[in-house]
């Protein structure tokens, strides 16, 4: 994994500054090209560790240049095909495969790649820059344009090295605070800084300074498959993601997804490997017993870490700086701790379970949309059965409440949301910056529509951002087997009853993992996943004092986003145990620290 940077003029000093900012993404090597355009690169060496992997990299006659972040898992097969077609290689890197694939197939080369990537190709023959991002946006790519300039980087901080016109994006802030939305559109929390959407390419004409953004990927659902096929394709995905010239390990939460990855890794790897986990000793959400059960079944060395109050106070600013934009809850900080643990134990490549819930329907709210699908499909007996069995299995009726909410007219949904849930929000300011837009998850939709929405808009994009920023902060490459495009497209072809059935989730995947997962884990009905006891955490004496200083500060009081008196009352009620508001407190604190870090101190113009 690496950091990439660039812009459409010549400035060696500036590209070195950008490279320095993204150095944590690639501490092993650094390079730049300064001509009519400037490209920069910092390298985390994973494949072909030799100097031949140095970037920016060019073809034989220096007409095609690339700066690239990612991994193409099928690069060896593509390389052999390109050699047969007459292409000459000077390295064993996947980077050079991209260059020659572009020479051979043009822009269509990306359809041949199985992997994760963000890259910029400079084509001297056409005088164009081509920015491209993988199918699901596993690797980030940000850009700024003002009519004369284009600037791009793996990190927002790289773009902030330039003298640009930016400020906090109040629309993004309010959607985050009010609806828990982020990374669902092209805009970021920084005005005028955008992200290239997943499965998109941006072509910039250096002569005319015009650009064109094209969507190159739309999932194509395959034919309906059974659990044997799912097992085969998922096992293959895990094996693809062991392609590396450095040791491979895995995150392990103790849930179904990460446990399945670790158990399959144990079958693929010839040597013992490491796993890294968060534990919460003595708390009801602690998953130590499940983690240890996986350890009994596999040849792994397990490492553990906790969320500690003193560490949190010491690390919170570094975490906020690493993420670059606010995050929705405390669990990404827990993931940051896990990645730090991996770094301290010399890990370079980790597999992780992002995507499993979004393609196989693992979250409890998916049942609400399934209930709606059954209701509108007039399958009322099945609806009653599913509602009863879910409540019996999970001792939870959240999906039932969501189902009723989906049936309501939009104006009643908005009224209930304003009066019952988010009274601390300044709704007049929300309307000013967001208009009458509402949470897209309030839309009446079936399960398939909801899964696609969470895959491409409301869940996976920000979860991948958390994953990338946390792992890259500690120079660790994270790989996500559930987002193999063949697996995703196969999962999208499945009927709803293969995902949710008899009040249970992910049914076909659980069947597929029979004899692979320990039964104790395969039969789990709860979901935690690097969970943190957020309400208890924000009642800890040290954390309360830390938060009090922020909540009572003049800058916090004067923000236009919230009604301070209600915020202060909610905070007090939470501390005294009268109500739980841990998630809200986190968002207030995160937002305020982020504003101070990037704007109040003049870190952005």
CA distance 279 to 307: 8
Block residue for tokens 């009224």: 415
Dihedral pair phi/psi, residue 501, rounded to 5°: -160, 135
Block residue for tokens 């494949």: 47
Residue ranges with strand state E in 124-166: 128-133, 142-145, 150-153
Asked if 124 and 63 touch (Cβ cutoff 8 Å), the reply is yes
Dihedral pair phi/psi, residue 591, rounded to 5°: -65, -45
Asked if 24 and 473 touch (Cβ cutoff 8 Å), the reply is yes
CA distance 544 to 542: 5
User: Which H or E element spans position 581?
Assistant: none
- H helices present in 160-255, as ranges: 170-179, 227-240
Strand order in the sheet with 194-195: 29-34, 38-43, 2-7, 150-153, 142-145, 194-195
What residues are annotated to the active site? Answer: 2
CA distance 130 to 121: 5
What residues have CB less than 8 Å from 122, skipping those under 6 apart?
Answer: 6, 33, 37, 39, 56, 64, 65, 66, 128, 129, 130
Block residue for tokens 């309400």: 535
In 3D space, the residue among 335, 363, 345, 352 whose CA is nearest the CA of residue 252 turns out to be 352
For residue 56, say if its preceding peptide bond is cis, omega within 30 degrees of 0.
yes
* Structure token pair of residue 12: 């060696």
């Amino acid at each position: 994994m690496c950091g990439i940077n660039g812009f459409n003029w010549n400035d060696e000093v500036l590209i070195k500054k950008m490279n320095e900012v993204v150095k944590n993404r690639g501490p092993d090597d650094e390079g730049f090209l300064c001509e009519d355009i400037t490209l920069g690169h910092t390298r985390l060496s994973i494949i072909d560790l030799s100097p031949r992997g140095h970037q920016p990299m060019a073809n034989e006659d220096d007409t095609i240049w690339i700066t690239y972040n990612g991994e193409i898992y099928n690069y060896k097969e593509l390389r052999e095909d390109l050699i047969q077609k007459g292409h000459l290689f000077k390295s064993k890197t996947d980077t050079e495969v991209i260059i020659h694939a572009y020479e051979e197939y043009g822009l269509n080369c990306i359809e041949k790649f199985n992997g994760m990537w963000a890259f910029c190709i400079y084509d001297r023959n056409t005088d164009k820059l081509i920015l491209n991002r993988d199918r699901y946006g596993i690797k980030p790519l940000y850009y700024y344009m003002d009519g004369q300039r284009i600037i791009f980087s793996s990190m927002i901080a790289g773009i902030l090295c330039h003298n640009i016109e930016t400020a906090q994006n109040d629309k993004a802030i309010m959607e985050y605070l009010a609806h828990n939305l982020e990374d669902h559109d092209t805009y970021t929390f920084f005005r005028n800084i955008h992200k290239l959407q997943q499965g998109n390419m941006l072509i910039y004409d250096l002569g005319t300074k015009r650009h064109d953004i094209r969507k190159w990927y739309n999932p194509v659902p395959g034919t309906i498959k059974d659990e044997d096929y799912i097992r085969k394709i998922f096992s293959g995905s895990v094996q693809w993601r062991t392609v590396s010239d450095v040791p491979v390990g895995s995150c392990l939460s103790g849930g179904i997804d990460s446990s399945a990855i670790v158990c399959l890794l144990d079958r693929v790897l010839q040597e013992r490997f490491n796993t890294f986990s968060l534990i919460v000793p003595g708390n009801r959400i602690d998953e130590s017993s499940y983690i240890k059960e996986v350890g009994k079944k596999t040849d792994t060395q397990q490492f553990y870490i906790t969320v500690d109050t003193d560490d949190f106070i010491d690390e919170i600013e570094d975490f906020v700086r690493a993420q670059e934009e606010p995050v929705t809850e405390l669990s990404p900080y827990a993931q940051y701790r896990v990645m730090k643990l991996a770094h301290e134990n010399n890990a370079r490549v980790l597999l992780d379970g992002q995507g499993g819930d979004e393609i196989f329907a693992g979250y409890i709210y998916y049942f609400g949309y399934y209930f709606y699908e059954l209701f509108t499909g007039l399958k009322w007996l099945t609806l009653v059965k599913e509602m009863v069995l879910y409540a019996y299995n999970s001792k939870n009726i959240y999906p039932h409440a969501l189902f009723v909410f989906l049936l309501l007219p939009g104006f009643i949904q908005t009224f209930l949301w304003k009066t019952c849930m988010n009274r601390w929000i300044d709704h007049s300011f929300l309307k000013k910056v967001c208009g009458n837009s509402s949470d897209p998850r309030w839309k009446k939709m079936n399960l398939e529509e909801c899964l696609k929405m969470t895959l491409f808009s409301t869940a996976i994009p920000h979860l991948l951002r958390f994953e990338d920023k946390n792992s890259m902060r500690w120079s660790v490459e994270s790989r996500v087997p559930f987002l193999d495009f063949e697996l995703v497209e196969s999962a999208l072809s499945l009927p709803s009853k293969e995902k949710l059935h008899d009040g249970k989730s992910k049914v076909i995947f659980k069947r597929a993992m029979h004899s692979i997962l320990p039964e104790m884990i395969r039969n789990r009905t709860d979901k935690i996943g690097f969970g943190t006891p957020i309400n208890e955490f924000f009642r800890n004496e040290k954390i309360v004092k830390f938060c009090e200083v922020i909540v009572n500060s003049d800058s916090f009081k004067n923000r236009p986003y919230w009604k301070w008196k209600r915020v202060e009352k909610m905070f007090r009620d939470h501390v005294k145990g009268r109500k739980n508001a841990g998630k809200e407190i986190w968002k207030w604190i995160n937002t305020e620290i982020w504003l101070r870090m990037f704007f109040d101190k003049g870190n952005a113009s």
